[in-house]
Chain A
Amino acid sequence: MTKTATQYSAKAEVSNLYVRRSFYEKAIINLKKAPITAWIGMIIVTFYFFVAIFAPFLAPYGEAQIFKVPYAPWDSVHIFGTDRLGRDIFSRLVYGARNTMGIALITTFLAFLIGVGLGLLSAILSGWVDQILARFVDILMAIPSLIFALMLLSIFGSTALNLILIIAVLDSTRVFRLSRAVGMNIVVMEYVEAAKLRGEKIGWIMSKEILPNILPPLVAEFGLRFCYVFLMIASLSFLGVGIQPPTADWGSMVRETAELIQFAAYDITAALTPILPAAAIGILTIGVNFVVDWFLYLTSGLKDEIK
């Protein structure tokens, strides 16, 4: 055995051929390869947010402004006519984007705060904490959420705050399950064990060690949850316990203009009026789903299949 002649150097060791790209560069590359559906979804979502943010500038009238003629036909003054109290439908559609999406967004954030927090706590602590939390969530999930929300709202009253709190708590159960499941996969990693051995507090382990590693599925879930929350608010409003008048919102607009549909034989535009807020709900849901689908495709291992 001869003594080694080659000089070994740790610095010169060949590491992975890997080009580190900034977030911005990665985004450009991914956007270039985005399928048409993702583009449609992104355009829809951007458009909705644009409308929601600039609602006061886009809407010709105020959301609760009442005109003399109720059920006015579609014309140049009132693009989509007026409702039974004489409020401009187009203006209410624009403000509806702001109200419905705003409340849905706040609710989803809150649901994630509760769900991810408790889910990760459950994953890290395991044992009886996990058992109690998980069984409690099972109980909540066993009750159909729309009916449960209806019941709670009629007990506590339909204020915007109650609406947000109740839906957030009910929806956080699903977020809890997801974050607990993906968190469990990370908790068993040695770097989490190393952090525990270092004596780190649970907050650090949750936020610095685990959370960055489970972000992709959580972001995707956020998109889907947003859709569900949004649909739930619309359904509750349609049933009359959601967002209360005079605040404009698409769910209650469908309810308020629903009877117009029977006039289809005389004025087709009148019949289309209740379809408008319903379509606004539907299109946004589809758009968000398109974007989430693409995002899931990007972050899951699927993209490794090259063809």
Chain B
Amino acid sequence: MKSSKQKKDLLLDIQNISIEGFSDEIWHPIIKGVNLQLYRGEVLGLIGESGAGKSTLGLAAMGFVRTGCRFTSGSINFNGKDLTKLSDKKKQQLWGTKLSYVAQSAAAAFNPAHRLINQTIESSLSHKLNIKETLQKEAVQLYKEMQLPNPDEIGERYPHQVSGGQLQRTMTAMAMSSKPDLIIFDEPTTALDVTTQVNVLATIRSIVKEHQTAAIYITHDLAVVAQMADRIQVLRYGNTVEVAKTSQMLKSPKEEYTKSLWAVRSIKKKEQKSKEIILSIENVSASYGSGPKVLQDININVPTGRTVAIVGESGSGKSTTARSITGLLPPTQGKIIFQNRILPMKLSDRTKEDLRKIQMIYQSPDTSMNPRHTVREIIGRPLSFYHGINKEKNTDKVLELLNMIELDDSFVDRLPEELSGGQKQRICIARALAAEPELIICDEVTSALDQIVQEGILKLLLKLQHELKISYIFITHDIATVKAIADEVVVMHQGLVVEQGSKKEIFSPPHPEYTKLLLSSVPEMDPNWLNKVLEN
């Protein structure tokens, strides 16, 4: 690292910044006196759990606070100007010219009614940086650098006519169009599949290097930040935990908290076999309406008391498989055999007992719990519905279940909004357990959670499996999670089962072509991982 040269070129210097947010008639601190330095041409990785203040700090680097928030103290020095003191008009001149922002969801950031190229050059044009023709030429050049297919023509398309990964790259081109000094990337690849993510990461990295643009890269994925950043700053509860060079941070983190972040993927489960099969899906095909087949002739077996992980990218048919098993989307052909009995295809034809035995846990606990029901009602309902347990006994049983998921009595009267993400997901687990199921389908249950919380949830699920002998179908796109908890693995791609086998078989070569691509695309904690992948 050319640190001596960088010292001279301090681009952004945030000193002791504090930000507060207003809710429920009170100002709450969000950022509590954080320092941040960024040199020209440097990439700083900003990591932390959700709620740590990453995005708020990222936006603050542009001198911007969301509605309902305010700066309370500190200064933000960008190129010698204190952004906290500049008028909105002055700041607007900087935004979109010297300072750019790339948001998490490209699909939401583009206007569906305008062509890509016009949106790419929009801010440069409105700031009169150059004439339209020149800017368009530059945009095409940027598309080339971003390795978009048909760079000359892709700009003529509308946002819905390109894929998510291409859109995310177009958005980066948009941010680069005005040749900014600083770009803020706010989780730019979180919404993408792993195989797409690799390309986007590589192009972002090379373009930032080539143009000597400084960048702040916000993410919760440590492996990703290891590839992208020169330095890493760890945030927690609005405070800085640790700042260090990437290699140093990975090798020898100083703080306990940072160490715990690094140690997250430490659960190992010895795979176990079971001869008994609780659920088998035979030659099942399914489609939405009269559309194309989303599942094509798939076969999956779930051994009793074991975990089968279904992996694949979005659109591979993972969740549709779950919907077919539960009867929400009746298969058009094939059989679903549960405990040696053919299950009726349609939800309405199944008995209460059928429904009780197969429970489901969803990805987002925010939408899978009724915001107007208390924890007692949420967990208590399956108890009274399936087992007829009412009144005081019901409450006793709810408390017992809360204990089982490592929460206590104080949670019983809370509403979902008064719980953290991990606690919410635990309540969802308790709701599934209340039915005393034989099989639980977990649909991406950890993907919305932070690393530490994820580990807690996975440990809990393993413990429950051990105690209650429940079988799991675990749907995920995260290979690390699969390695942690699966006994068997099913790889799906475009509605087909690519491979099914024990964890050992799947993760050791030889692989089918798609499994190989999938496995190689999962970021690793090695800073040179991306280089190695690109070489291959």
Same complex for A and B? Answer yes
Interface residues of A (CB under 8 A from B): 1-6, 8-11, 13-20, 29, 189-191, 193-194, 196-200, 208-209, 212-213, 304-306
A197 with B256, Cβ < 8 A, contacts A4-B263, A10-B456, A16-B417 known: no
Q: Which residues of B contact A213 (CB under 8 A)?
A: 370-372
Let me know if B123 is at the binding interface, CB within 8 A: no
A190 with B368, Cβ < 8 A, contacts A4-B259, A197-B347 known: yes
Q: Are the C-beta atoms of B419 and A198 separated by less than 8 Å?
A: no
Let me know if B96 is at the binding interface, CB within 8 A: no
Q: Which residues of B contact A3 (CB under 8 A)?
A: 263, 266
Q: Are the C-beta atoms of A212 and B370 separated by less than 8 Å?
A: yes
Q: Are the C-beta atoms of A5 and B260 separated by less than 8 Å?
A: yes
* Those 8 A-B pairs whose CB atoms lie nearest each other, nearest first: A212-B372, A190-B368, A15-B420, A4-B263, A4-B260, A199-B355, A13-B420, A191-B370
Q: Are the C-beta atoms of B51 and A191 separated by less than 8 Å?
A: no
Further contacts, 18 of them, CB under 8 A, given A4-B264, A197-B355, A200-B385 = A1-B263, A2-B262, A4-B263, A5-B259, A6-B257, A9-B406, A10-B426, A13-B453, A14-B51, A191-B370, A193-B368, A197-B326, A197-B327, A197-B359, A199-B350, A305-B68, A306-B67, A306-B68
Q: Are the C-beta atoms of B406 and A11 separated by less than 8 Å?
A: yes
Q: Compute the total of residue contacts between A and B using a CB distance below 8 Å.
A: 114
Contact with A along B364-407 (1 / 0, CB 8 A): 10011111110000000110011000000000000000000111
Contact with A along B191-202 (1 / 0, CB 8 A): 000000000000
Q: Are the C-beta atoms of B418 and A20 separated by less than 8 Å?
A: yes
A sample of 14 inter-chain contacts (CB < 8 A) reads: A4-B259, A6-B256, A6-B260, A16-B417, A17-B23, A20-B414, A190-B367, A191-B367, A198-B381, A200-B385, A208-B370, A304-B68, A306-B22, A306-B67
Complex Cα gap A16–B147 (Å):
42
Complex Cα gap A209–B420 (Å):
22
Let me know if B360 is at the binding interface, CB within 8 A: yes
Q: Which residues of A contact B362 (CB under 8 A)?
A: 190, 194
Q: Which residues of B contact A6 (CB under 8 A)?
A: 256-257, 259-260
* CB neighbors of A among B260-276 (8 A): 260, 262-264, 266
Q: Give the one of A4, A6, A191 with max B CB within 10 A.
A: A191
Q: Which residues of A contact B386 (CB under 8 A)?
A: 198
Complex Cα gap A29–B414 (Å):
21
A8 with B455, Cβ < 8 A, contacts A190-B368, A213-B370 known: yes
Complex Cα gap A13–B419 (Å):
9
Q: Are the C-beta atoms of B420 and A2 separated by less than 8 Å?
A: no
Q: Which residues of B contact A20 (CB under 8 A)?
A: 414-415, 418
Which listed residue, B24, B327, B422, B453, touches A18 by the CB 8 Å rule? B24
Q: Are the C-beta atoms of A191 and B369 separated by less than 8 Å?
A: yes
Let me know if B5 is at the binding interface, CB within 8 A: no
Q: Which residues of A contact B107 (CB under 8 A)?
A: none
A8 with B452, Cβ < 8 A, contacts A15-B420, A18-B418, A198-B385 known: yes
Complex Cα gap A23–B266 (Å):
46
Which listed residue, B257, B262, B418, touches A1 by the CB 8 Å rule? B262
Let me know if B423 is at the binding interface, CB within 8 A: yes
B25 vs chain A, min Cβ distance (A):
7
Q: Which residues of A contact B456 (CB under 8 A)?
A: 8, 10
* CB neighbors of A among B444-484 (8 A): 452-453, 455-456, 460
Q: Which residues of A contact B420 (CB under 8 A)?
A: 13-16
Let me know if B237 is at the binding interface, CB within 8 A: yes
Q: Which residues of A contact B259 (CB under 8 A)?
A: 2, 4-6
Q: Are the C-beta atoms of B262 and A14 separated by less than 8 Å?
A: no
Complex Cα gap A130–B396 (Å):
42
A203 vs chain B, min Cβ distance (A):
13
Q: Which residues of A contact B373 (CB under 8 A)?
A: 208, 212
Let me know if B352 is at the binding interface, CB within 8 A: yes
A263 vs chain B, min Cβ distance (A):
57
**Nearest A residue (CB) for B377:** A208
**Nearest A residue (CB) for B264:** A4
Which listed residue, B68, B264, B368, B417, touches A194 by the CB 8 Å rule? B368
Let me know if B86 is at the binding interface, CB within 8 A: no
B166 vs chain A, min Cβ distance (A):
28
Contact with A along B45-84 (1 / 0, CB 8 A): 0000001000000000000000110000000000000000
Q: Are the C-beta atoms of A16 and B418 separated by less than 8 Å?
A: yes
Let me know if B408 is at the binding interface, CB within 8 A: yes
Let me know if B162 is at the binding interface, CB within 8 A: no
Complex Cα gap A16–B415 (Å):
11
* CB neighbors of A among B481-533 (8 A): none
Contact with A along B325-363 (1 / 0, CB 8 A): 011100000000000000000010010100100011010
